[in-house]
């Protein structure tokens, strides 16, 4: 998911050509300009091996030879609907707003934009761009098909199973922590190997140069004519808890040293605790280097500085969302999930620094009760069928 085509030395020439196409055709600050986005990966694939399109398929039988872009969740859904995809039978691909965002899908107009078709046809040499893109893009949670009777029988499922639009893993984690119907200003920070932040906003914000994007939030039971709705804005940093393992901290040491750290005191050290070169958010910079020096002899001081550094990236991330126009400017509540959310001292430290760095100052930071993406996906599906 964080594969950066510009950092792959084995595909340097091809990735350079891809980025030239993106610079030429993709609008400034658009999410699809990201080196790690699915559009960049699709174009790199085409550079390395031309896709087989409908124009290349001269057969009139039911055997499929044309290739269509398919996200992981799309593939699973199609498999459930069409008794698996190994038979070669032709089928259309249905995707969702969230998975298609970084492909270039226009989540405001709810269509693939004209610049994307021009890019694929003129720039990448795809004669019929629509033939390689999902045929339909629906709201996450929106019903769009039914399970195949054969698949239902094979896995012991009800033949009445309905398939709904999917989402991304980080968005599903947001639903798990915040529920399917949160208020604007609700935010979720995932403190796993990396740091992911999302906040529900009343305004759309986007800036690929800072790694910021907006997912259209599902409007359960509403029509396409409703008001613009809410946006799940945010970004994902490469800093996170992986650096703690890299620096040799055990679970026991983390618990013992954290208990000795005063969450209301600042470390004099200023770190940017990446595990390797490259950052996605709050600034997209493939050349950004880790900063973990000077390194004190005291392990408690070292841990204090690392946790503060990760927290500062979170603080700066929310600040940038506000500067770009997120509404409200600051989160009102931040639900914490991931391994780092188990650290009570760190929750207190992050809350203090968020309040000091925010414009409104009243944010609360709490540990989420539910954090599994699978739980969030289930909430998303269930919300579509609520009265």
Give the ranges where the chain is alpha helix by DSSP (H): 12-25, 38-48, 72-81, 97-100, 114-118, 149-155, 169-178, 242-246, 251-260, 299-323, 344-357, 373-383
Q: Specify the pLDDT at position 227.
A: 54
Cβ-proximal residues to 223 (8 Å cutoff; 6+ apart), any chain: none
125: its two tokens: 């040499």
> What parts of the chain have a pLDDT lower than 50?
61-64, 225
Q: Specify the pLDDT at position 62.
A: 46
Q: Specify the pLDDT at position 368.
A: 95
**The pTM is what?**
0.84
CB neighbours of residue 115 within 10 Å: 16
Q: Specify the pLDDT at position 286.
A: 86
DSSP string, 123-188: IS--S-GGGGS-SEEE-TT-EEEE--HHHHHHHT--TT-EEE----HHHHHHHHHH-SSPPTTEEE
What whole-number distance in Å separates Cα of residue 51 and Cα of residue 127?
A: 10
């Amino acid at each position: 998911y964080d594969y950066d085509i510009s950092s792959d030395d084995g595909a340097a020439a091809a990735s350079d050509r891809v980025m030239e196409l993106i610079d030429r055709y993709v609008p400034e600050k658009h999410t699809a300009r990201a080196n790690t986005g699915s559009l960049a990966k699709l174009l790199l694939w085409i550079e390395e091996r031309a896709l087989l399109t409908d124009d290349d398929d001269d057969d009139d039988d039911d055997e499929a030879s044309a290739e269509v872009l398919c996200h992981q969740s799309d593939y699973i859904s199609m498999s459930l609907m069409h008794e698996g995809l190994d038979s070669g039978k032709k089928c259309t691909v249905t995707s969702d707003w969230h998975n298609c965002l970084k492909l270039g899908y226009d989540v405001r107009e709810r269509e693939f934009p004209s610049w994307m078709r021009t890019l694929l046809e003129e720039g990448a040499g795809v004669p019929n761009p629509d033939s390689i893109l999902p045929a339909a893009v629906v709201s996450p949670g929106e019903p769009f098909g039914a399970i195949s009777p054969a698949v239902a029988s094979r896995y012991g499922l009800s033949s009445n199973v309905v398939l709904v639009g999917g989402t991304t893993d980080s968005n599903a984690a947001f639903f798990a922590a915040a529920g399917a119907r949160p208020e604007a200003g609700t935010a979720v920070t995932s403190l796993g190997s990396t740091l992911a932040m999302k906040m529900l906003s009343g305004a759309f914000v986007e800036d690929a140069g800072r790694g910021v994007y907006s997912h259209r939030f599902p409007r359960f039971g509403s029509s396409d004519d409703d008001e613009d709705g809410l946006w799940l804005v945010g970004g994902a940093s490469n800093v996170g808890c992986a650096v703690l393992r890299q620096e040799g901290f055990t679970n026991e040491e983390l618990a013992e040293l954290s208990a000795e750290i005063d969450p209301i005191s600042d470390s004099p050290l200023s770190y940017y605790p990446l595990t390797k070169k490259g950052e996605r958010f709050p600034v997209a910079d493939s050349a950004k280097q880790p900063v973990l020096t000077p390194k004190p002899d005291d392990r408690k001081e070292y841990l204090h500085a690392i946790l503060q550094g990760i927290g500062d990236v979170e603080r700066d991330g929310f600040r940038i969302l506000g500067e770009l126009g997120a509404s409200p400017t600051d989160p009102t509540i931040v639900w914490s999930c991931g391994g780092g959310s188990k650290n009570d001292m760190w929750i207190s430290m992050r809350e203090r620094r968020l309040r000091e760095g925010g414009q409104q100052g009243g944010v609360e930071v709490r540990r989420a009760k539910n954090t599994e993406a699978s739980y969030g996906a289930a909430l998303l599906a269930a919300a579509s069928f609520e009265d």
